Amino acid sequence: MKKQTLQSIVRFLLRTLTRTHYYGIENIPKSGGVIFAINHLSYIDTPLLLVNPIRPDITALVTTKYQERALISWFVRTAEGIWIDRDVADFSAIREAAKALNKGLALGIAPEGTRTTTGGLQKAKPGTIMLAMKANVPIIPVAITGSENAFHALSKFRRPSLSVTFGKPFVIPQIEPGNRSKALLEWTDILMQKIAALLPEEYRGIFADSETLP
């Protein structure tokens, strides 16, 4: 199956089985490398990004632990996703992601590195910021809500309400070599604060303090 066919199927299923809404799509550049940095609630988050209304060329970084799950593994391969081993410094995956961005593709990534177990944001890793700097591309903070309950609702024959909100893109400025480690952590927190600002309070987790939000 081709990626475009998979996208058509996913789009049909979301339209039929859910109430899915995309907001802030005017913030998405129509071309050029860009990172979509999302809060990660559910397996359905990647399909939601895959059929975003503006960038059908999107790919995503997906943890290698899903390679053992036949359906998810097939989906990721068909969607032309990029496998990353999150238990090690997977430089091969980072190079592949940077190459995709340099080709002008969009890339989805969860800065937290894994799905949240509480529904709220948790501490993120600096990999997203490092990748944005390496590829010299903007980051778009993306807030997803409703997906954590999607499969439960579907099992009860109810249509879950899902939303995907795209914030304004921003670019990481040049970081001085001597200040790199500290700056990476600071910009990682800034990214998570930007995602938190797009979310209802109950999803903000450790970034719930409104005084820290942009």
CATH number for domain 3-212, candidates 3.40.1130.10, 3.50.50.60, 3.30.1330.60, 3.30.1200.10: 3.40.1130.10
pTM: 0.93
Residue that the structure tokens 């939303």 belong to: 163
β-pair partners for 144: 164
Under 8 Å between Cβ of 20 and 154: no
Pick from 35, 200, 62: nearest CA to 121: 200
**What gap in Å lies between CA 60 and CA 76, rounded to an integer?**
9
**What gap in Å lies between CA 99 and CA 19, rounded to an integer?**
35
DSSP H or E run through 19 = strand 19-23
134-192: pLDDT as tens digits = 999 999 999 999 999 999 999 999 999 999 999 999 999 988 777 888 899 999 999 99
**What gap in Å lies between CA 120 and CA 122, rounded to an integer?**
6
- Range with lowest mean pLDDT among 18-22, 96-100, 209-213: 209-213
β-pair partners for 162: 20
How many other CB atoms are found less than 10 A from the CB of residue 109? 25
Per the prediction, the chain carries an average pLDDT of 93
